[in-house]
């Protein structure tokens, strides 16, 4: 046996970690396999001993990225109530610090629009990691039904991610700040609206629709 299996595991982990950072910072297309490998202290050739393709690396990196983000934003301190933890999450998510450091932040605002155009393998990895992340957020939300809380967590996340994304894309710092600030108010309004969650389970999206008319 060459090297130890543990050694390979650690090397692979190092590659995934670097990739998870690089992707969030420069996008799926903006990161090259040779770039990630050299960042991990290796050369490009060995890559395919660890992953079958770049897409396989991307798919693996989501779990790492969401996990890191949960660690940073979603882990409540000891002895804080869920309400306090939720409040902390909203503030941290829609903060200037999160806006200015995408590399260690949430995956959604950085990569979702690229994922939407990616391969099935990439989207499957994204979906699984996103589900777990949303489920952790759902623990902080009010509401009885478990599945409903998961969906609520996803849309709350979508709202905040959308705002963070805009605040990053926009050219004017004052506008960027204004978006973040307003998005906080909006997030709280959304959370408040969850309390009186009367069932609208009969609601449906019509099969055929005409959005562009």
Partner DNA sequence: CGCATGATATGATGACTATCATATAAACAT
Partner DNA sequence: ATGTTTATATGATAGTCATCATATCATGCG
Residues that bind DNA (CB under 7 A): 1-5, 7-8, 11-12, 31-35, 37, 41-50, 53-55
Q: Give the integer Cα–Cα distance in Å for 109 and 133.
A: 14
Q: Give the integer Cα–Cα distance in Å for 133 and 152.
A: 13
**What would the x/- binding string for a second copy be over residues 49 to 78, using CB under 8 A?**
-----------------------xx-----
Q: Is 172 in the site for a second copy (CB under 8 A)?
A: yes
Query: Which of 49, 52, 83, 169 is close enough to bind a second copy by CB under 8 A?
Result: 169
Q: Give the integer Cα–Cα distance in Å for 166 and 171.
A: 10
Nearer to DNA, 56 or 103 (CB): 56
Residue 98: CB atoms within 10 A of its CB come to 23
Q: Give the integer Cα–Cα distance in Å for 82 and 66.
A: 20
Dihedral sign for Cα 140, 144, 147, 151, please.
negative
> Using CB distances below 5 to 8 A depending on partner kind, what does residue 199 bind out of DNA, a second copy, none?
none
Q: How many residues bind a second copy (CB under 8 A)?
A: 78
Query: Which of 117, 145, 146, 173 is close enough to bind a second copy by CB under 8 A?
Result: 117
């Amino acid at each position: 046996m060459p090297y130890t299996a543990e050694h390979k595991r650690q090397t692979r982990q190092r590659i995934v970690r670097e990739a998870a950072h690089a992707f969030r910072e420069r996008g799926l297309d903006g990161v090259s396999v040779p770039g990630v490998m050299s960042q991990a202290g290796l050369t490009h050739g060995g890559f395919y001993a660890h992953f079958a393709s770049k897409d396989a690396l991307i798919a693996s990196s989501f779990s790492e990225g969401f996990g890191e983000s949960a660690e940073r934003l979603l882990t409540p301190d000891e002895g804080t109530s869920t309400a306090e933890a939720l409040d902390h999450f909203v503030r941290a998510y829609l903060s200037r610090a999160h806006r200015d450091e995408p590399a260690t932040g949430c995956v959604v605002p950085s990569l979702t629009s690229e994922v939407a155009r990616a391969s099935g393998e990439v989207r499957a990895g994204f979906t699984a990691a996103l589900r777990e992340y949303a489920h952790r957020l759902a623990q902080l939300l009010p509401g009885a039904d478990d599945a409903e809380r998961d969906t609520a967590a996803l849309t709350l996340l979508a709202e905040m991610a959308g705002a963070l994304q805009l605040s990053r894309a926009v050219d004017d710092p004052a506008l960027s700040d204004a978006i973040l600030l307003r998005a906080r108010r909006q997030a709280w309004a959304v959370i408040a609206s969850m309390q009186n969650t009367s069932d609208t389970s009969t609601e449906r999206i019509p099969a055929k629709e005409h959005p562009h008319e």
